[in-house]
Structure 1
């Protein structure tokens, strides 16, 4: 393979860290396209090898299955396991030669990764007594009908459907191309609210439907997206024509959002059932730490591990006493166990060294951030550390985003990593800039005001001034 044929990401040559000849031998197994979803059949090239993302078809994994997954990640990759913001599993550091062995080990463990259109449901579905309906049953029927389509629609790789049924841990803050939400009517019956393009707060509501109407309606939307083109997303759909087609009444009142509950902590599910929520530090943990944690958890009675949004896992099968013991043990295995931990409010991508596109070591900055800018980490806002403009760790807007750039950092306020920065700072200026922003909040916050409220009141100009002073 010549230099001109080498795989490039964002203009940066990644072949210096990869076995180029091995990749050339298996071109169909590797994904390099921006916007693609890495999987067992099409892993993605990153700075530390090949990346595989998977979401099991089952609600969770048994302790035995999760142990097998961790052992496979260590055997065939670099042992790093990530839980994404949407609750997907990611395994890092594979090579073109080792991916086949990883796939075989995953199959032997009885883990069946989802394929096709992504359909996300609440992590405690089927266990939470506060749920209005069964999302998994509806999701299964929807997958079957999508799989039966002939021809199969050509859809965007990251197109996502969310089926929300209420309960403690909702998916309101996660964006989707198509949203379906169970809602109780005044007479106690259940309707399903169909919306497109956004979070629960920003999605555009189309109609209220019965369960029987919901699946054909979603199939129709998928066919429409396919006609628009293979990169079309929910935001590309024509809202007015769809509302006319559905003959919807006043749909504005149907947009409902629930109070956010952190997945981290102990969630009582009725009777003696509970779920213990934990978060690997910055969403990443090594297989050896996972294996140590699983051994302690299994001895305490844990039976199942589910992943959850916000880079979390949920441990099931524990009683109240053992859950407290396991929470203490988890802290020594690399987990964050407190929902109010300031580091939970930093979204971090893999960063330089792990990702070929990243311009800085995001995790190193995140570790320093608590000491550098404590006033910004009161839990009222999220700081997004993104190694580049792709924003993999957080596609949506954050109050403050620090984006890696060739000569330093771009600072984005109330936007995503791809938004236009309000200011640029040099490579050696980040620590002083964050210190100055933290001082801005400390000196201007009034009694009872959060950091987010303070920065919102002061406005972007004040933030830019503080950054320049830093």
Structure 2
């Protein structure tokens, strides 16, 4: 490390709990920076115009606010509304001329987008009787601490902090640079497990801390990342040095991943309260369908909509019978209503025609996948259809990813859209390739074996061989 860099680190006081050499806490800086997230102030150019991503400061939107947002999406854009894999709202098809009107309508509806470092909490925080603690409290304190820093830190645009209080709908599958997960001590006290990089299953656990210690630790980790510039991510922190500093070698073996529960379906919240989880088909729906659906939901008693990971939305305020009726009606307006719907296990980006970077029509390919490859969609794995190598719909690894390329498609096994494909197929061969992989599973799966287990047992070479034989 250059002397200048070491001096900068010392001047920023990177100690987490006492004196520690922060220079040893950071490894190599990433080789490639990812672009900033599109927002009202900085929309992104796509194939169908400008795209805006919204993460409101409130846990959810009232029915009236969501109605105003849908009307604004149709008035100032092409009316398409998306819910991302992380549960953010996206509006598509705006122009430079229509953006001021969208911003004005959003403000008039009282929808205030979150700014600064992304801090994510579970969608049912504060409502879920199964949660250990309300993560919003710690998140609010952390935002205040970050906002009070002077000067402000220059961090990676997509750096993400997850604060998870536990509960039925947790954020274990969300990739984070820094993660705080609530846990119970032997004395039934709340502690926060600090981890960096990856999902809850793959993150590197550093320590178990109090709420106050957690905020200080996260701030100092952010300072350490800022020293190394806007490319540094949580995965670049030196885990060994940090664990040594905390002097808790046993904490690295903690399992912070909870049992998975799909956001789709009816979730009890105690008493007569519940949440109805729905998913727009392939994460996208038109404003007109949303408006028709909202009218039905409001008449049934709904008062709030919260977006959720896995392209889902949660309807609050309904009784059980009303929720069943609204759930049934939702299917008529483009929503998937069952947790076991095969399409829930297909992650699809906007695709060609909607995104200028995409090389193929991903939603058409998803329809083909549902028709041609039912064996693959048993719920044990996710298949990612990505129009390009950016992998916007599913940044994490998938069992199988079909990546658009100039001459056709790349097939990635157990990797992300940016990973090196194990095989390439031509532009006219996608349907056949999907059918071949499906046949491979159908012909080789043994009794009681899932598709994921079957493909893991067969290995990558078997998939490549099936594609080449075809």
TM-score, normalization: structure 1? 0.92
Which residue number in structure 2 is paired with residue 240 of structure 1?
Answer: 240
Q: What are the residue-to-residue correspondences of 1:433-452 with 2, within 5 Å?
A: 433-452=433-452
Contact 2:155 2:230 in 1 (8 A): yes
Q: CA deviation at 1:249?
A: 4.3
Name the CA distance, whole Å, in 1 between partners of 2:198 and 2:431.
Answer: 34
Q: 1:243 to 1:252 in 2, by over 3 A?
A: closer
Spell out structure 1 runs of 4+ moving beyond 6 A.
none
Query: Which has the bigger relative contact order, CA under 8 A and spacing at least 6?
Result: 2
Which residue number in structure 2 is paired with residue 124 of structure 1?
Answer: 124
Which residue number in structure 1 is paired with residue 356 of structure 2?
Answer: 356
Contact 2:205 2:253 in 1 (8 A): no
Q: CA deviation at 1:182?
A: 0.6
Q: Does 428-437 or 301-310 show the bigger shift?
A: 428-437
Q: CA deviation at 1:34?
A: 4.7
Which residue number in structure 2 is paired with residue 327 of structure 1?
Answer: 327
SS in 1 for 2:363: helix
Which residue number in structure 2 is paired with residue 270 of structure 1?
Answer: 270
The unaligned stretches of length 5 or more in structure 2 are 1-32
Name the CA distance, whole Å, in 2 between partners of 1:336 and 1:321.
Answer: 19
Work out whether 1:453 is the aligned partner of 2:457: no
Which residue number in structure 2 is paired with residue 144 of structure 1?
Answer: 144
Work out whether 1:76 is the aligned partner of 2:76: yes
Work out whether 1:411 is the aligned partner of 2:411: yes
Name the CA distance, whole Å, in 2 between partners of 1:175 and 1:135.
Answer: 17
Q: What are the residue-to-residue correspondences of 1:104-115 with 2, within 5 Å?
A: 104-115=104-115
Which residue number in structure 2 is paired with residue 53 of structure 1?
Answer: 53
Contact 1:436 1:469 in 2 (8 A): no
Which residue number in structure 1 is paired with residue 157 of structure 2?
Answer: 157
Which residue number in structure 2 is paired with residue 398 of structure 1?
Answer: 398
Name the CA distance, whole Å, in 2 between partners of 1:266 and 1:342.
Answer: 18
Which residue number in structure 2 is paired with residue 14 of structure 1?
Answer: none
Which residue number in structure 1 is paired with residue 254 of structure 2?
Answer: 254
Which residue number in structure 2 is paired with residue 343 of structure 1?
Answer: 343
Name the CA distance, whole Å, in 2 between partners of 1:77 and 1:152.
Answer: 34
Name the CA distance, whole Å, in 2 between partners of 1:54 and 1:358.
Answer: 22
SS in 2 for 1:321: helix
Measured against aligned partners, the alpha-carbon deviations of 1:140-182 in whole angstroms (never above 9, x if no partner) come to: 1110110000000000000000001110001001110000011
Measured against aligned partners, the alpha-carbon deviations of 1:418-438 in whole angstroms (never above 9, x if no partner) come to: 111110010011111111111
Contact 1:296 1:326 in 2 (8 A): yes
SS in 2 for 1:250: helix
Q: CA deviation at 1:228?
A: 1.2
The unaligned stretches of length 5 or more in structure 1 are 1-32
Q: CA deviation at 1:97?
A: 0.9
Q: What are the residue-to-residue correspondences of 1:39-50 with 2, within 5 Å?
A: 39-50=39-50
SS in 2 for 1:332: helix
Work out whether 1:194 is the aligned partner of 2:185: no
Name the CA distance, whole Å, in 1 between partners of 2:140 and 2:254.
Answer: 25
Contact 1:386 1:392 in 2 (8 A): yes
TM-score, normalization: structure 2? 0.92
- Please give the root-mean-square deviation of Cα atoms over the aligned residues, in Å: 0.9
Which residue number in structure 1 is paired with residue 279 of structure 2?
Answer: 279
SS in 1 for 2:194: strand
Q: How many residues align?
A: 438
Q: Does 240-249 or 75-84 show the bigger shift?
A: 240-249
Q: Does 315-324 or 438-447 show the bigger shift?
A: 438-447
Contact 2:410 2:425 in 1 (8 A): yes
Measured against aligned partners, the alpha-carbon deviations of 1:119-144 in whole angstroms (never above 9, x if no partner) come to: 00000000011111110011011101
Name the CA distance, whole Å, in 1 between partners of 2:45 and 2:76.
Answer: 15
Work out whether 1:184 is the aligned partner of 2:184: yes
Work out whether 1:210 is the aligned partner of 2:210: yes
Name the CA distance, whole Å, in 1 between partners of 2:223 and 2:278.
Answer: 39
Q: CA deviation at 1:376?
A: 0.7
SS in 2 for 1:198: coil
Which residue number in structure 2 is paired with residue 368 of structure 1?
Answer: 368
SS in 1 for 2:347: strand
